[in-house]
């Protein structure tokens, strides 16, 4: 049983690991080895221990339909949201991306990878959600954490990384203002 309440929206490290372990078992029963590239909050929780929980597991996975069906079954068993594992992130994936298996758990029927740290930094900067109201998502804590993790000392270095993954003309002005503001306020130093 999951540590979250039924249909809870907060997935802790323990809940995610239990769900991925169950997914690995389910795929094994079907004779399938699944591949999942994790993104977003899940990477921040599992690989970096940068936060306690995330609302869902954003990922790109193969084989897509079998993994999706197996995840639905696991979600029902663990009383998770039906879309606890989802591939909505695929619409935001850059054409240029590098992945690694570093700092991720191992499962017998599930190969996990994640982007190198520069890539989630670029993705978070492109989204540039600042929250503000109760319940609104904010990318600021993750951006700040990744800037520090990568040892970046100035806004231009962050924006150069964003430009490596996304065309410079597509980088929103709000991204530039957010990143510059983090350094001006000393938050990212």
Q: Give the contacts of 100 (CB within 8 A, at least 6 positions apart).
A: 113, 114, 115, 116
Q: Look at strands 85-86 and 57-62 and give their pairing.
A: parallel
pLDDT above 50 (res 8): no
Q: Is 66 within the bounds of a domain?
A: yes
73 and 109 share one domain? yes
Q: Is the pLDDT of residue 6 over 60?
A: no
Residue 7: predicted pLDDT: 46
Mean pLDDT of 112-140: 89
The tokens for 104 are 């991720």
Task: Write down the pLDDT at residue 115.
Answer: 93
Q: Are 175 and 126 in contact (CB under 8 A)?
A: yes
pLDDT of residue 20: 98
Mean pLDDT over residues 162-184, rounded?
Answer: 95
Each residue's pLDDT tens digit, 20-62: 999 999 999 999 999 999 999 999 999 999 999 999 999 999 9
CA–CA separation, 78 and 183 (whole Å): 42
Per the structure block, which two tokens stand in for 59? 């990922």
Residue 32's CB is within 10 A of a number of other CB atoms, namely 17
97 with 51, same domain: the answer is yes
List pLDDT tens digits, range 132-168: 776 678 999 999 999 999 999 999 999 999 999 999 9
Looking at 95, 116, 137, which one is the last position of a domain? 116
Q: What's phi and psi for 122, nearest 5 deg?
A: -60, -45
Please state whether the peptide bond connecting residue 63 to the residue before it is cis, i.e. omega within 30 degrees of 0: yes
Question: Could you read off the pLDDT of 63-106 as tens digits, one per residue?
Answer: 999 999 999 999 999 999 999 999 999 988 888 878 888 778 89
Q: Which pLDDT does position 64 carry in this prediction? A: 97
Instruction: Please tell me whether residues 98 and 142 are part of one structural domain.
Output: no
Same domain, 44 and 74: yes
Confidence of residue 189 (pLDDT cuts 50, 70, 90): low
- Domain for residue 1, yes or no? no
Predicted pLDDT of residue 9: 65
The residue range of the domain holding 173 is: 119-184
Task: Note whether 85 and 103 are same-domain residues.
Answer: yes
Together in a domain, 15 and 106? yes
0.75 surpassed by pTM: yes
Going by pLDDT thresholds of 50, 70 and 90, the confidence category of residue 172 is: very high
Q: How many folded domains does the chain comprise? A: 2
Query: Is residue 172 a contact partner of residue 139, using CB atoms and an 8 Å limit?
Result: no
Closest CA to 141 of 95, 184, 182, 82: 182
């Amino acid at each position: 049983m999951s540590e979250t309440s039924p249909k809870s929206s907060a997935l802790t490290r323990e809940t995610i690991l239990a769900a991925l372990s169950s997914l690995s078992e389910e795929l094994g029963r079907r004779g399938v080895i699944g591949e999942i590239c994790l993104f977003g909050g899940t990477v921040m929780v599992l690989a970096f221990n940068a936060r306690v929980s995330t609302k869902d597991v954003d990922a790109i996975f193969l084989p897509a339909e079998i993994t999706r069906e197996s995840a639905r079954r696991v979600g029902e068993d663990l009383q998770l949201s039906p879309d606890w594992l989802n591939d909505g992130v695929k619409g935001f994936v850059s054409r240029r991306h590098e992945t690694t298996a570093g700092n991720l758990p191992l499962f017998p029927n599930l190969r996990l990878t994640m982007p190198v740290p520069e890539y989630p930094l670029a993705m978070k900067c492109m989204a540039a959600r600042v929250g503000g109201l109760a319940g609104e998502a904010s990318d600021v804590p993750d951006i700040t954490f990744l800037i520090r993790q990568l040892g970046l000392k100035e806004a231009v270095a962050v924006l150069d990384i964003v430009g490596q993954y996304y065309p410079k003309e597509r980088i929103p002005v709000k991204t530039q203002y957010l990143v510059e503001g983090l350094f001006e306020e000393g938050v990212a130093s």
